[in-house]
Amino acid sequence: MRLIDAKNGDLVRVVGFEGGCDEFKCHLHAMGFMIGDVVKIVHRGFFGPIQVESKGAKVALCRGQAEKILVEKI
């Protein structure tokens, strides 16, 4: 499943990254996204960014980024 498919309040574990270049993966790592991390979906609307919480920090991801993050529901 992709992060963009998760619903508000869901807890998911990052299992991988799809596509994108090395810069994209480095950018995600710089924001604190690593394989194995547990992420909570704080706000996901029909349009605009997806707000998630990871390791106590809230981060907004554009929909394109959220489509490339593979997760599993906990």
Burial 32-55 (b: 16+ CB within 10 A, else e): ebeeeeebbbeebeeeeebbbebe
Domain residue ranges of the chain, discontinuous segments joined by +: 3-73
pLDDT in tens, 1-48: 999 999 999 999 999 988 766 788 888 888 878 899 999 999 998 888
Q: What is the per-residue pLDDT for 18?
A: 86
* Span 58-69, average pLDDT: 91
Look at residues 49, 47, 61, 54 and name the one whose alpha carbon lies nearest to residue 12: 54
CB 61 within 8 A of CB 5: no
The DSSP letter of residue 2 is B
Q: What is the CATH number of domain 3-73?
A: 2.30.30.90
Q: What is the per-residue pLDDT for 49?
A: 93
Phi/psi of residue 44, nearest 5 degrees:
-135, 110
